[in-house]
Amino acid sequence: MAAPNSKPGENESGGEPAVAVRRTNRWRGVVSVALLALAIGLLAKRPLLLMLSAAAVAFAAYPQLTGPPNPVVQIEREVDPDSPRAGDLVDVKTTIRNVGDATLFDLRLVDGVPPMLSVEGGSPRRGTALRPGSAATIEYSIRARHGTHRFRPTMVIARDASGATETETTATEETVIECGSRVPEVPLRATSRHRSGQLVTDDGGSGLEFHRVKEYERGDSTSRIYWRRYALTGELISIDFRKEQLADIVLCVDAREAAYRASSEDNPHAVAYATDAADRIAGTLFQADHRVGLAAVGRTLCWLPPGTGRDHRERLSRLLAVDPALSLTPPRATGSMSITGRRFADFSAADTDGGDTFETMDLDRQLSTIRTHINDRTQVFFLTPLCDDEAVRIAQWFESSGCAVTVVSPDVTADETAGGRLVRTERLNRLKSLHRAGIPAVDWDTDERLGTALAGLREWFVK
C-alpha cells in the first residue's frame, strides 16, 4: 500500500536526493558547422545558409545563456492488489506531477520497480513534457513473488529546450507490496543469556521443552516435582526444562562485488535476495522480541547495533532500502576483496559525467569494526550466495571470533552451461566445507519459500 505522498525532492532517507547536471553533447560540432555555413553564405551570398547558420548558433548558445532545468516533481503510486499471492499480476499506476514553476520540455521517467519483480505488461518508462501543475501517468503490471518488495526511487531526467543540458534526480514515495512474506519461524543456535525469551539454550531452568530430571534440592519449585514418580517410589525428583531466552542477532549481508551474481539477466542478483531475506528474518525475530541488528560488508560498511522497538525496526528496514552498502546497482570496478589485506573499489556516488566515483576500503577493517561491537553471545546470520571462497572464510572468521554463525545462502547458480554447472558444484563444495566446520548453512532455492529453507536448521539445533 502506498504511503502518504513524500515532499517534492525528498528521498527515502528524508534528505534531498542527489542531483547530477551534465552536458549531452547533442550540439557538439554544430558551432563549427554553423560558422562554416555562415562563411559560405557570406561568400556565396546565400540568405538561406545565413538563416540556417544563425539558427544553429542560437541553439548551441542557448544552454550557455540559461541555467540547467530544475525538475521539481511529486509522485503518487497505486498498486492493485497490495497484498497479492505469489504469481499474481499487480497493476501499478504511478502519477508524476510538475509542482515547480517552469515547464519541463523534455522529461524522461523510469519508475523504481522492485528489484525482485519482473515487468509483465506495459512499461515503467515514460517520456513527456509537463507544464507547471500538469501530470503524466505510467501504467504497467508486475509479477508478484514471495517476499516484501519496496519500490525504489523514480528516476527523473529533465532536458532543456535545446536538449544540450540535462538534470538527473529522483522522486520517492514509500510503496510496499507484501506477498506471503512472513517467515513462520527462525531457529536459533543455543547461547547462554540471562533474559527470558524464546531462544532455547542448553541450560536447565524454567521453560517449555524437557531438559533433564535431577534429584530434588531444597529451593526447587514444587511445581517442578515429578509427583507421579514420588507416588510410585517415594523419591523426590525435579524436572528441568530448557530455558527460553532472548538473543542479540546481527543480520550480515554479503554485498561484495562477487555477490552481485544472478542466474540470468532477467532474474534478481544475490544481493537483492539477501536484503529481502534479511528484512523478512528481522520481522520474525522482532515479533519474538529479540534484539536485532544489521551489518553489510562490501564497497562500504553498514552497521546498526542490535535493538528492539518500533523505531529501531523501521530504521533497520530503511537501511536495507537506502544504505549505499546495500545498493542494488552492482559496482563497476573490479578487484579482489580479501580478508587477508587486499583492497577493493568502493562505489560512493555518481559524478556529473554519469560515471562512478570509487574509494577504497579494507574488508579486514570492516569485519574488525563489526567484531568490536558484538560479543561471543551474539548470533550472526550471514546472508551470502557463496560465490567464492572468500565468503566461506568470512563465515569461519566470525565463528572463530566466538560468534555463533548461521549461513543463509540464496542459490543463484544455473546449470544450462558447462561453466554454470562448474559454478554450482563449487558452491555445493563450499556448503559442505561449512558443514564440516560445524557451521549451519541453509541452501535456499529462491523458487521456494524462505521459511521452508530455514526450517531445515532445526536438524542442526535439536540434538
The C-alpha atoms of residue 463 and residue 187 are separated, in whole angstroms, by 13
53 versus 332: which is more confidently predicted? 53
Residue 398: strand, helix, or coil: helix
Residue with cell 509522485: 75
Q: Note the pLDDT tens digit of each residue in 351-391.
A: 333 333 333 458 888 998 998 898 888 999 999 999 999 99
Q: Is the peptide bond between 81 and the residue preceding it cis, with omega within 30 degrees of 0?
A: yes
Cell of 138: 505510467
- Least confidently predicted of 9-18, 312-321, 342-351: 342-351
| Predicted local confidence at residue 63, as pLDDT | 63
CATH of domain 68-179: 2.60.40.10
Partnered with residue 255 across adjacent β-strands are 298
- Work out whether the CA dihedral 343, 345, 347, 348 comes out positive or negative: positive
Share of the chain above pLDDT 90, in %: 38
The C-alpha atoms of residue 120 and residue 129 are separated, in whole angstroms, by 26
Q: Which helix (H) or strand (E) holds 157?
A: strand 152-159
- In this prediction, residue 79 has a pLDDT band, given cuts at 50, 70 and 90, of very high
- In this prediction, residue 312 has a pLDDT band, given cuts at 50, 70 and 90, of very high
* Domain layout of the chain by residue ranges: 30-65, 68-179, 196-245, 248-461
Dihedral class, residue 21 (left if φ above 0, else alpha if ψ from -120 to 50, else beta) = beta
In this structure, the dihedral spanned by the alpha carbons of residues 48, 50, 51 and 55, taken in order and rounded to 10 degrees, is 140
Angle at 346 between CA 345 and CA 350, to 5 degrees: 115
User: 281-314 as b/e, with b when 16 or more CB fall inside 10 Å?
Assistant: bbbbbbebebbbbbbbbbbbbbbbbbbeeeebbe
The C-alpha atoms of residue 144 and residue 85 are separated, in whole angstroms, by 7
Domain 248-461 CATH assignment equals 3.40.50 = yes
The C-alpha atoms of residue 113 and residue 92 are separated, in whole angstroms, by 10
When pLDDT is averaged across residues 44-51 and rounded to a whole number, the result is 72
The domains spanning 68-179 and 248-461 adopt the same CATH topology: no
- In this prediction, residue 393 has a pLDDT band, given cuts at 50, 70 and 90, of very high
Q: Note the pLDDT tens digit of each residue in 102-160.
A: 999 999 999 999 888 889 999 999 999 999 999 999 999 999 887 778 898 999 999 88
| Predicted local confidence at residue 147, as pLDDT | 75
Residues 412, 261: contact at Cβ < 8 Å? yes
